[in-house]
Structure 1
């Protein structure tokens, strides 16, 4: 599908607003759903290239609201691992074809929903034992890898951070800081690999106001909106889009 079309724009607007709400108020864990949605109508690399500058804009606009409220030891552990994880993701990204990337994005989306279902059923328990810096670095490797290939580092970060006993605001602030730094690492590599195009940058410019609107809504919703409602809607969307991407990749 042509990237500069009203159809893509109509799908991208709610996806970008959703990413802003997620990153601005709900810990970034499901912001990758926006890339999953766009990958339904765009070649995966174009979808990722379109979203990265917008995610960076969201990071910058939300960072002041959580300035120095983060847990630095937890953020440092994740960032130490994120550097090699990002490089591994870049190597994979360079050799993988579109269907393989589409399949991986779909598997991450569906796998995240299954992981959350297992948590709700008590099959997986987090927060009962504090994980040390080494565990954080290992999680950081997974964060860097999944973030590079699908903007889906949030769930990996959540596995580690939810075991640190952080407050809701400290958790949110830590994710904002970590992904601001990780996205800065990614942008240079994406640029060198030709992921950004004139069309993605032009469309991203048109979508920038919606990213800011979503961020503002997310910051406001952080203390006012039920997380259960927000994530419930998100899990349905992730299941549908992830399943469609897997089907498309395999067929």
Structure 2
């Protein structure tokens, strides 16, 4: 019963994260990896993320920054391949702890960004930063469905305002998550039980997305950035010590 409740909460957060504050999805990643085998959890959560992506793309597609997308997408594909190779060789315990470490590192990076020097935006605008972000996003999304904090770091350094941030993220992750499907199928991650459980959770993703759409324009970016950072750190520690 508790496990089912946790998965429902995770599904609601996925929907909300896709249409409001993306970093909250890190909590869902941690929940899924804690109550399911880590490899199975990456497949289950992927299908829910794609559901949320469809809603986000439909509502924010006109806000997307195609210039930013063109810089990031070419570097994402090598990151996906690296992530798939990593998944093929690690066991469940290593993967769970790897997810925790990734979330903790990304939370620390977001905190560092808040204290960055005045020329941080210049660093964020470089081609090297775009390539590094793309590869890291591809790897972390393939192994842990946790690329949100990576792209958040990059987009915040660019000074991207909220709606443009949401539109760019929606299209980027929709494309990336679709690209992950064949990798996940090839690794045998989509068992019948995983698919059935995911289908039952899809309505909760839609409810979360609905709530996010109605609250996003009233959100204080500063306060929610702090909350997301704290939640990511707590989720990461829980996975590492589990």
Counterparts of 2:56 and 2:239, CA distance in 1: 30
Counterparts of 1:109 and 1:183, CA distance in 2: 18
CA contact (8 A) 1:24 1:215 kept: yes
CA contact (8 A) 2:24 2:228 kept: yes
Counterparts of 1:212 and 1:124, CA distance in 2: 40
Deviation for aligned residue 1:57: 0.5
Question: Which sits farther off after the overlay, 168-177 or 132-141?
Answer: 132-141
Assess, with a 3 A threshold, how the Cα gap between structure 1 residues 53 and 219 changes in structure 2: closer, same or farther.
same
Aligned to 2:167: 173
Assess, with a 3 A threshold, how the Cα gap between structure 1 residues 123 and 113 changes in structure 2: closer, same or farther.
farther
The C-alpha deviation readout for 1:160-219, integer Å capped at 9, x for no partner, is 222323221111110111000000000111011111111111111111011011111112
- Give unmatched runs, 5+ long, in structure 1: 1-5
Residue 25 in structure 1 maps to residue 2 in structure 2: no
Residue 132 in structure 1 maps to residue 132 in structure 2: no
Match for residue 85 of structure 1 among 79, 87, 94: 79
CA contact (8 A) 1:83 1:144 kept: yes
- Equivalenced residue count is 242
Provide the TM-score with structure 1 as the length reference. Answer: 0.89
Deviation for aligned residue 1:129: 5.0
- Give unmatched runs, 5+ long, in structure 2: none
Deviation for aligned residue 1:123: 6.9
Aligned to 2:60: 66
Counterparts of 1:205 and 1:124, CA distance in 2: 47
Match for residue 207 of structure 1 among 196, 201, 208: 201
Match for residue 215 of structure 2 among 203, 214, 221: 221
Deviation for aligned residue 1:22: 1.3
Residue 156 in structure 1 maps to residue 150 in structure 2: yes
Question: Which sits farther off after the overlay, 130-139 or 164-173?
Answer: 130-139
The C-alpha deviation readout for 1:26-66, integer Å capped at 9, x for no partner, is 2x234132011221121111111111011000000111111
Counterparts of 1:238 and 1:165, CA distance in 2: 22
- Over the residues paired in the alignment, what is the CA RMSD in angstroms? 2.0
Give the helix-richer structure, 1 or 2. Answer: 2
Deviation for aligned residue 1:145: 0.3
Counterparts of 2:117 and 2:67, CA distance in 1: 28
Aligned to 1:239: 233
Assess, with a 3 A threshold, how the Cα gap between structure 1 residues 163 and 236 changes in structure 2: closer, same or farther.
closer
Residue 145 in structure 1 maps to residue 160 in structure 2: no
